[in-house]
Amino acid sequence: MLPDRIPSGKDEQVMTSNTRVRFAPSPTGALHIGGAHTALFNWLWARHIGGSFILRIEDTDLARSTEEHERTILQGLSWLGLDWDEGPDVGGSHGPYRQSERREIYLRHAHDLVRSGQAYCEGEAVIFSVPKGRTVAFDDLVYGHIEMESDTLKDVVLIKSDGFPTYNYAVVVDDHLMEITCVVRGEDHISNTPKQLLLYQALGWETPLFAHLPMILGKDKKKLSKRHGATSVYEYRDMGYHPDALFNYFALLGWNPGDDREIFTREEAVRMFDLTRVTKKASVFDMDKLNFVNQAHIAMMPPLERARHTFPFWEEAGLDPGSRSEEWLAGVLDLLEGRGRTFRELAEYTDYFLSFEAVKKRWGGEDIDGERRGTLKGFFTAMLSFPSWSPEELEVMAKAWCDGKGLKMKDVAMPLRWALTGRKVSPGIFHVAAFLGRDEVKKRLSHYGLI
């Protein structure tokens, strides 16, 4: 009754086309990390094997479900780059895809169970009587063989007093009717699986395959919650993470391609993904690693795209990137050469290109005494009248000038850095100067009385 073969290797080609997996969120909040991770693995498997990815909304909790949350979840999935073949918004041949719209169906099958003596009514509720003395077993694609005695289970409420189905019941009815072939969900559902299996048997339905995914925990190894920081994918977007990077990082939580590759594109992940390579141990969400992955993705994206992603963060910082061309903005970011782990940092690290005001707020021209000021004036004046304005030639010129005066490069580079950026760190300062242009550099140096 339980298909005990798992699709792998050459068999994949045969079984593929009708593979159907689903992500079934409850619209009681934003799309959080755990949900996104589960959705991602379902999507990855569907796309890898050429099957269908179905989205189903489990809105049977009247008190907490809202349309607003449903919209947010759908948008969150889209932001992550996950698309679905059937769902509440796009429809499909196995709808409706909202449980609140399938009440007749749940009621019908519940009554069948009552009629056949496998369930009983208690007030308005319908309850499944768990058969005694049965060993319920299944072969999880990730966790292997799992079995449990039915005697350890309590009867299962099927229909609540409000007429809505419970999770454990609705999930069985829907997965069957929607012809889901493999249920991929969080490991917290392993304990629920036996009672669902009993329901499949009572209804006379074939069971799908199951693949449970390891949980994602916080740094303290406890279930991820607000205490651990951002938990919804939108918070990551707002902090300046690229969806491809979050995608890449999520894919690495509980799975790896089998070689040493850690940075990959969506397409590469689809090609390499395999449910049978999913690990069993719960993993800790590590911001350091996410930052690294995000930095890697920012580094490999096309300059113009990088600029487009940074745009809103410049605006948020009160700057006016719209006054510049996209090419110019992309050029600014090119100067960063790998600096910055998030788009937010990219914007922050380049604010002085868009506004001298930001520089003035950070540095008032202090720490330069009279004697040094005189020396610097000499250099900056020479620099501003130097025929070439290419960063390389400016650097050569500066080096020669310093050598002639017995000075170190940093003796002139650091004051220039402060005057141009208002910071003690920046990309190569002659590259900054070159990009800013001779006039702007002159304006800033003159403001600080350095020419």
Residues annotated as catalytic are 226
| DSSP-assigned states of every residue in 64-127 | T--HHHHHHHHHHHHHTT---SBBTTTB-TT---BGGG-HHHHHHHHHHHHHTTSEEEETTEEE
Which of 60, 72, 207, 231 is the binder for RNA (CB under 7 A)?
A: 60
- Which of 69, 266, 306, 417 lies at the binding interface for RNA (CB under 7 A)? 417
Rounded least distance, CB 241 to RNA, Å: 14
Pairing assessment for the beta strands 135-140 and 144-149 based on DSSP bridges: antiparallel
d(CA 199, CA 180): 16
Near RNA in 252-281, by CB under 7 A: 252-254, 256, 258, 260, 262, 277, 279-281
For position 386 contacting RNA by CB under 7 A, the verdict is no
Question: What is the Cα–Cα distance from 79 to 233, expressed in whole angstroms?
Answer: 9
Interface stretch with RNA, choices 10-18, 80-88, 108-116, 215-223 (CB under 7 A): 215-223
The one-character DSSP state at 314 is: H
Site size for RNA (CB under 7 A): 79
Site for RNA in 222-241 (CB under 7 A): 222-223
Which residue number, 205 or 292, has a Cβ lying nearer to RNA? Answer: 292
For residue 26, state whether it binds RNA (rule: CB under 7 A): yes
Under the criterion CB under 7 A, does residue 122 sit at the interface with RNA? yes
Question: Which x/- pattern over 313-352 shows residues binding RNA (rule: CB under 7 A)?
Answer: ------------------------xxxx------------
| 208 versus 254: smaller Cβ distance to RNA | 254
- d(C-alpha 221, C-alpha 16), whole Å: 37
CB of 74 to RNA, least distance (A): 16
- Mapped onto helix, strand or coil, the DSSP state of residue 135 is strand
Which H or E run includes 144?
strand 144-149
- Interacting residues with RNA between 165 and 194 (CB under 7 A): 166-168, 187-192
Give the Cβ contact number of residue 344 at 10 Å: 19
Q: Which of 288, 366, 369, 371 binds RNA (CB under 7 A)?
A: 288
Alpha-carbon gap, residue 440 to 177, rounded angstroms: 68
The residues in 63-92 that bind RNA, with binding defined as CB under 7 A, are: 64
Of 215, 275, 354, 451, the one binding RNA by CB under 7 A: 215
125-128 and 135-140 as β-strands: parallel, antiparallel, unpaired?
Answer: unpaired
Residue in 68, 83, 124, 206 binding RNA, rule: CB under 7 A: 124
CB 73, min distance to RNA, A: 12
Query: Min. distance of Cβ 17 from RNA in angstroms?
Result: 26
According to DSSP, residue 387 is labeled: S
427 makes contact with RNA (CB under 7 A) = yes
Find the binder of RNA among 410, 443, 446, 449 (CB under 7 A): 410
In the chain, the amino acid numbered 335 is: L
| Contact of 209 with 6, CB cutoff 8 Å | yes
Q: How many CA atoms lie within 13 A of 56 on its CB side?
A: 33
